[in-house]
C-alpha cells in the first residue's frame, strides 16, 4: 500500500479543521494527515485531539509552542513524515483554497507518471483563481514571472503551496538549511528541488479564496519573497543550495 501523508499547518483554523480533515478522509485513496498547529488560541489542536478518537491511526498532531511561520511548520512536518516512513508527503492549506479532491491527481502524477514533485498549479493553464481580489491575483501571477526571470526555473506557479513530494526529494534537500518562512519558503523548496534536477510537473488546479477564518498574509511575508528570490539566486551561484 502507498504510504502517503498530507501535512497541514494550522493557526486559528477552528472554522475549517473538521471539514478539511473529513474531506481528506472521505477520499478513496488512503491518506494519512499530520496537523502541525502552533498552539492556536482558538483551540484548533484540542479539536484535532477529539477527532483523533474518530480517525485513530490516520490522524496525527504535532503542536508547537508558538506561532513560528508556515515554512518552519512544514519543515517540522516533513521531518516527522520522513521519520515515520512515508513515501509521498503533501503540502496543503487548511482553508479549502486547495481542493482536497486534487490530492489524488497530485498523487497520480508522482506515483504513475514518475514525477518527483507534483505542483498543484494555478497558472499552468491561464489563471485559475476564484474569489481573490484582482490585486492579489496580479501580485501572485507576477511573483511567479519574477521568480522565473531571476532563477530561470521553468515553473508557472512558483509560490504554490499545494504539492506532493516523493520522500527522496525531502531526503536530498537539506531541510535544516531552509531559510524562509512565508511564500519564499515555497519558492525555496521548488528551487532546491529544481537545482537537484528532480522531475517537477505542474498539475492544473483551481484555487479558491478562503471563505472561513482569517488570512495570515502580511507585508513581511511579501518582502521576504521579493528579496529572498535574489538571495536564492546568489546562493546558487556560490553552490550553497
Ligand X SMILES: Nc1nc2c(ncn2[C@@H]2O[C@H](COP(=O)(O)OP(=O)(O)OP(=O)(O)O)[C@@H](O)[C@H]2O)c(=O)[nH]1
Where do contacts with ligand X occur on this chain (CB under 6 A)? 9-11, 13, 36-38, 67-70, 73, 93-95, 97, 210, 215-217
Minimum CB–partner distance for residue 93 and Mg ion (Å): 5
Binder to Mg ion among 37, 38, 93, 188 (CB under 5 A)? 93
Minimum CB–partner distance for residue 172 and Mg ion (Å): 28
Nearer to ligand X, 6 or 115 (CB): 6
Binding to Mg ion in span 22-51, by CB under 5 A: none
Q: Which residues of 161-180 are buried (b: 16+ CB within 10 A; e: fewer)?
A: bbbbbbbebbeebebeebeb
Choose the binding region for Mg ion from 38-46, 85-93, 115-123, 174-182 (rule: CB under 5 A).
Answer: 85-93
Instruction: Give the list of residues 6+ apart from residue 31 with CB closer than 8 angstroms, or none.
Output: 4, 5, 6, 24, 25, 58, 90, 103
- Which residue has cell 473538521? 18
Binding of Mg ion by 91 (CB under 5 A): no
Helices (H), 112-166: 134-151
Here the cell at position 26 is: 472521505
Nearer to Mg ion, 72 or 97 (CB): 97
Minimum CB–partner distance for residue 187 and ligand X (Å): 13
Binder to Mg ion among 13, 38, 91, 95 (CB under 5 A)? 95
DSSP 46-100: HHHHHHHHHTTTTEEEEE-SS---HHHHHHHHHHHHHHTT-SEEEE--SSSSS-G
Q: Alpha-carbon distance 46 to 49, whole Å?
A: 5
Partner that binds at residue 11, options Mg ion, ligand X, none, CB closer than 5 to 8 Å by kind:
ligand X
Q: Alpha-carbon distance 120 to 166, whole Å?
A: 15
Here the cell at position 32 is: 494519512
Binding of Mg ion by 16 (CB under 5 A): no
Minimum CB–partner distance for residue 237 and ligand X (Å): 29
Nearer to ligand X, 45 or 151 (CB): 45
Nearer to ligand X, 38 or 202 (CB): 38
Binding to Mg ion in span 65-84, by CB under 5 A: none
Partner that binds at residue 110, options Mg ion, ligand X, none, CB closer than 5 to 8 Å by kind:
none
Q: Alpha-carbon distance 82 to 174, whole Å?
A: 13
Nearer to ligand X, 7 or 173 (CB): 7
Partner that binds at residue 233, options Mg ion, ligand X, none, CB closer than 5 to 8 Å by kind:
none
Q: How far is CA 8 from CA 93, 135, 163, 176, in A?
A: 6, 27, 11, 19
Residues of this chain that bind Mg ion (CB under 5 A): 93, 95, 97
Amino acid at each position: 500500500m502507498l504510504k502517503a501523508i498530507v501535512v497541514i499547518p494550522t493557526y486559528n483554523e477552528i472554522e475549517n479543521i473538521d471539514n478539511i480533515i473529513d474531506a481528506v478522509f472521505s477520499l478513496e485513496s488512503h491518506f494519512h494527515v499530520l496537523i502541525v498547529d502552533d498552539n492556536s488560541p482558538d483551540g484548533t489542536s484540542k479539536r484535532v485531539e477529539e477527532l483523533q478518537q474518530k480517525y485513530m491511526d490516520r490522524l496525527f498532531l504535532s503542536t508547537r509552542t508558538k506561532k513560528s511561520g508556515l515554512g518552519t511548520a512544514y519543515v517540522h512536518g516533513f521531518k516527522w513524515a520522513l521519520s515515520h516512513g512515508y513515501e509521498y508527503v503533501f503540502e496543503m492549506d487548511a482553508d479549502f483554497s486547495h481542493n482536497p479532491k486534487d490530492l489524488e491527481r497530485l498523487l497520480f502524477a508522482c506515483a504513475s507518471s514518475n514525477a518527483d514533485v507534483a505542483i498543484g498549479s494555478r497558472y499552468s493553464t491561464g489563471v485559475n483563481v476564484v474569489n481573490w481580489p484582482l490585486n492579489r491575483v496580479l501580485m501572485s501571477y507576477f511573483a511567479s514571472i519574477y521568480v522565473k526571470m531571476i532563477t530561470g526555473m521553468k515553473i508557472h506557479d512558483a509560490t504554490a503551496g499545494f504539492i506532493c513530494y516523493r520522500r527522496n526529494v525531502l531526503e536530498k534537500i537539506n531541510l535544516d538549511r531552509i531559510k524562509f518562512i512565508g511564500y519564499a519558503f515555497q519558492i525555496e523548496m521548488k528551487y532546491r528541488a529544481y537545482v537537484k534536477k528532480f522531475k517537477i510537473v505542474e498539475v492544473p488546479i483551481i484555487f479558491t479564496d478562503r471563505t472561513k477564518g482569517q488570512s495570515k498574509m502580511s507585508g513581511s511575508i511579501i518582502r521576504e519573497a521579493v528579496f529572498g528570490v535574489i538571495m536564492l539566486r546568489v546562493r546558487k551561484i556560490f553552490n550553497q543550495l
